Structure 1
Amino acid sequence: MKILLVCAGGMSTSILMKKMETYWKENGEELEIKAVGLGEYQDVYQKYDIILVGPQVSYRMKEIKENTGLPADAIPSFDYAVANCPNIMKLARKLYAEK
């Protein structure tokens, strides 16, 4: 699965990205993941299956879906804040099934 993480500047999602990579690896899942800011996602989204958006930019969800045509959803605030990888993995799988 190839996941694009989008947040305001790409910094907070970079931290989450590292935790997700570790969690996926521990669970024997293959994952390619990249964290980018809002200004960058349109340049790279073609290489990804789904988009997960940080809660701080969830107000741009409609625009992101329209611009990319990819399954996308916002990560719930609590899951994002505590890097709840099991819940984020469930959300990613749900989106991937819509692809």
Structure 2
Amino acid sequence: MAKKIMLACSAGMSTSLLVNKMQKAATDKGEDVEIFATAAADADNKLASEHPDVLMLGPQVRYMLADFEKQADCPVAVIDMRDYGLMNGEKVLEDALALIK
């Protein structure tokens, strides 16, 4: 069964490019993952409907970490600012998978 990785940023736009890079890295590694992005404002709904295995927050919404840690029934982490800025899909994927295992 595919592992679900959810990314949340302020609008869900900047993370969609990161999703594509992460998906490519996952395919290259043979990892069975489903990765999707959403706006932080809609993250509550997505947590309830999608039940991700891990939630990764964009650096711009790091202030929401404590709230999401309380309500999410999965590990929650902030994407490293440098990896986010460089759109390092492989590194963010590794970080996400490490939280699931």
Q: TM-score, normalised by structure 2?
A: 0.89
* Aligned twin of 1:18: 20
* Aligned twin of 2:97: 93
Could you list the runs of 4 or more consecutive aligned residues of structure 1 that deviate by over 3 angstroms after TM superposition? Answer: none
* Aligned twin of 1:33: 35
Give secondary structure in 2 for the equivalent of 1:39: helix
- Residue 93 of structure 1 and its aligned partner are, at CA, apart by 1.8
Q: Which runs of 5+ in 2 are unaligned?
A: none
Aligned residues: 97
- Residue 85 of structure 1 and its aligned partner are, at CA, apart by 2.5
Give secondary structure in 2 for the equivalent of 1:92: helix
Percent of residue pairs identical? 31
For 1:71 and 1:37, the matched residues in 2 are separated by 18
The RMSD of aligned alpha carbons is 1.1
